[in-house]
Structure 1
């Protein structure tokens, strides 16, 4: 059997605002739209952790943070009895593994760039291991505009008193002459050159785009796609945190990003910056997909596009990720099989990025390890998965409060730091924190998670069933 190639594209901090998911009315993602039109879009896909490293390690191992022990930046490679990664499994099966950009976790040195007013930020590979790859092109330094911060919210002349999280909390245009220096441009260039070549072995080609990660410095034409007076802001309730546990409120307001942004009148500018960064990322995805379509591998390549975690832009009075609500955990996930294979165009059931590991091995005719947490998505993609018969399914069908609800056994588990877990099943999200405080939302009736249903006796059976699905940290 001729094994299929894999084009594996991950975008950093890309939330559910892509056009195929319909979460933001203004966004323009033509390349992603084209990929969605020829593949399967998972409408409710979730990361395992709202943090780059933990999320990516789950994808590459098929295991939850509670299994790997990687909740944030804990050691993985040197840990005794560590999990086999997707890369190692594919290379063992004869795949040529090529990568470029931010695939495993790494970061730019924004502290040095701000402190010394340099016009570029150096890249630091943290979790990538060159020995894993047959060939890898590391991330280039990121060009920085002069006069930072462009949003004027912090005093970089007094840089030692700027919080580290604010060293890159900025947005605006990069000089046109520096566009070809941008890391994502160089990553796309390297991947395009790889795809143009003929290959004797099946390949795994990993493409790691950094945008729309902060800072949102992009060419002006991408900001121009979103005139400020036409930018739609997220729906926000000023009292939205009144019914959430203390731990969630602390996470949401530390640092006080929303207060700072409102004080400086930057909310609409920030949303414009994020939308512009999404469209910039989309343009680089378009370059890579065009190179694939023109390549000898066009007809026998799986394409998977995913975001490593979500991102808040004011929802629940929060910015960034690092929480267990919908905006921080819901991500794009699109899977396109080799040409000619019939697939579902959309899947509504909640799925997890932890499912990618067994799915890709399944598609390549390889057996995944038996002790992983992920489940292959192919039955959903091919429309062959039957509905489960769990207690919550039976309860949902029989309860008049939710009559007509479509329930299923597929669920997605999310974790942020040790002891804090959330589950999405059907229309529900249930979260339990390390201090045993809780949240419960019906996202069908309450898509922005404004009304915490914990304490409402009508939903006690839902709370109990969902709580039983949460993993243990033991």
Structure 2
């Protein structure tokens, strides 16, 4: 062929290939989404470098997808964190810091142009949506008090095509949430219970095993559905009580479990920045009470950490079973998997047992995303991302437009290893304060009388936040404070 004919021929061939490839992509069914919410899961996984925890399934998912090493929640309490996740919005009024934020803001509202949640938006765009377990704040997605009969009122009235839960021998979702192996629960036993249990039961002897069974059964039904699906699976553990089948406790040698690297109250702070571990101390048969005035013993601390790790291993096994079923059904090639911890947890760190602080331990949580698309295979993402960013990221991965405005910004570019955006920050809110996390610093401002109201931690030299250095670094405070004030969405008056 003469040279002058080759170039047009090659160009035509390229255009034909690109056109056919585009048609192929357009004809493809949109990806499914499996969203797994894990209650109180901080970054206590092998994928995050923990030396002891047995989490092979989540670690494997992370190795095949992306593990986000700097994911921070908006609010360190269950219901409010999930409100931010579901709406993509930062808190703008005190109600948004409470566990009943979803109930008060969404459950009674009429449907309008703005979707109530990102799940609702997926549903409006052709997805079949199924919720199993704790995705919103309620244990089973229904609105009722801890000790009340089960209601039929959905916490998210327009988000779900199906809302499923198996309460088993516990009878109600909230009983199951606080359930023990014998079918009793924290409420029925009037809190005369321990904060942990090694049950002589199989995986279905606790509620999360029943959730796994239900999820697997539903996946088999969804396999041949013409619509793409969104399945939300909400696991209870490692939320208190730290209950898990004994075989998961047996994975650990308690003597090898490390103690907290930061067990003392940080220097130069007000105790108002911390708390007296009230949620933990509700479990009246605990061997020791936690308080800011005195640490629990090393022996008891190791026992509690053992229980937390056993609970994580139990959930890891459940996630492994669901992932295995995805592969058996050949759905793994078309399904985006997201594993999200709704906030962190102090395991004796800063002398606290629980969440509910603006310290790193309560705000940093696990986030793993495994996408079936080859371009989304960055193994370790160090960019700072926030929970509110998950909403637009899922929409972008599913190629769904958003005409409504939210606070979150997609971080899908981080999958490709693209250069991180400048001024990457995360905002968190609680205890009358706002906390700003940058790559190097955590700056927290409290709107209260008790001094000091400003805390600064250098995460390069002090990653465990042991010393507030605000007073010694007024220049850093001055440079960062305008950025922190940008995060004041009206929660604490005008900025």
Scaled by the length of structure 2, the TM-score of the pair is 0.79
CA distance in 2, matches of 1:342, 1:250: 40
- 67-76 vs 435-444, which moves further: 67-76
TM-fit CA distance, 1:295: 1.3
1:22-68 deviations in Å (ceiling 9; x for gaps): 2x321110000110011111101011111111111111111112279
CA distance in 2, matches of 1:466, 1:242: 25
**For residue 290 of structure 1, what is the aligned residue in structure 2?**
324
1:63-462 → structure 2 map (5 Å cutoff): 63-66=89-92, 69-72=95-98, 73-74=100-101, 75-77=104-106, 78=108, 84-107=116-139, 128-129=155-156, 131-140=158-167, 141=170, 142=176, 143-145=179-181, 170-176=195-201, 179-197=203-221, 198-238=224-264, 240-250=265-275, 257-258=290-291, 262=296, 265-388=299-422, 409-416=423-430, 419-435=432-448, 437-456=453-472, 457-462=474-479
Contact in 1 for aligned 2:267/2:468 (Cα 8 Å): no
Cα gap change, 1:221 to 1:288, in 2 (>3 Å) = same
CA distance in 2, matches of 1:127, 1:369: 26
TM-fit CA distance, 1:128: 3.0
CA distance in 2, matches of 1:449, 1:133: 41
Matched, 1:25 2:51: yes
Q: Give the secondary-structure state (helix, strand or coil) at the position aligned to 2:486.
A: coil
TM-fit CA distance, 1:17: 0.8
Contact in 2 for aligned 1:170/1:214 (Cα 8 Å): yes
Question: Aligned-residue CA RMSD in angstroms?
Answer: 3.1
TM-fit CA distance, 1:337: 1.1
Bigger radius of gyration among the two? 2
1:302-357 deviations in Å (ceiling 9; x for gaps): 11111001011100000110111011110111111114334321111211111110
Q: Give the secondary-structure state (helix, strand or coil) at the position aligned to 2:116.
A: coil
Matched, 1:52 2:78: yes
**For residue 115 of structure 1, what is the aligned residue in structure 2?**
none
Contact in 1 for aligned 2:266/2:467 (Cα 8 Å): no
Cα gap change, 1:340 to 1:265, in 2 (>3 Å) = closer
Total equivalences in the alignment:
431
Matched, 1:470 2:471: no
1:222-262 deviations in Å (ceiling 9; x for gaps): 11111222211111344x24421242144668866257872
CA distance in 2, matches of 1:175, 1:110: 30
Contact in 2 for aligned 1:149/1:170 (Cα 8 Å): no
**For residue 399 of structure 1, what is the aligned residue in structure 2?**
none
Cα gap change, 1:169 to 1:342, in 2 (>3 Å) = same
**For residue 38 of structure 2, what is the aligned residue in structure 1?**
11
CA distance in 2, matches of 1:122, 1:366: 39
TM-fit CA distance, 1:200: 1.0
1:242-298 deviations in Å (ceiling 9; x for gaps): 421242144668866257872695211100000000100100010111111111422
Scaled by the length of structure 1, the TM-score of the pair is 0.83
CA distance in 2, matches of 1:125, 1:36: 37
Contact in 2 for aligned 1:420/1:431 (Cα 8 Å): yes
CA distance in 1, matches of 2:445, 2:219: 45
Contact in 1 for aligned 2:442/2:458 (Cα 8 Å): yes
Q: Give the secondary-structure state (helix, strand or coil) at the position aligned to 1:50.
A: coil
Q: Give the secondary-structure state (helix, strand or coil) at the position aligned to 2:105.
A: coil
Cα gap change, 1:245 to 1:469, in 2 (>3 Å) = farther
CA distance in 2, matches of 1:466, 1:110: 39
TM-fit CA distance, 1:87: 1.6
- 304-313 vs 79-88, which moves further: 79-88
Q: Give the secondary-structure state (helix, strand or coil) at the position aligned to 1:449.
A: coil
TM-fit CA distance, 1:70: 1.8
Contact in 2 for aligned 1:106/1:124 (Cα 8 Å): no
TM-fit CA distance, 1:122: 8.6
Cα gap change, 1:68 to 1:170, in 2 (>3 Å) = closer
Cα gap change, 1:25 to 1:371, in 2 (>3 Å) = same
CA distance in 2, matches of 1:125, 1:40: 38
Q: Give the secondary-structure state (helix, strand or coil) at the position aligned to 2:308.
A: helix
Q: What are structure 2's unaligned runs of at least 5 residues?
A: 1-25, 171-175, 282-288
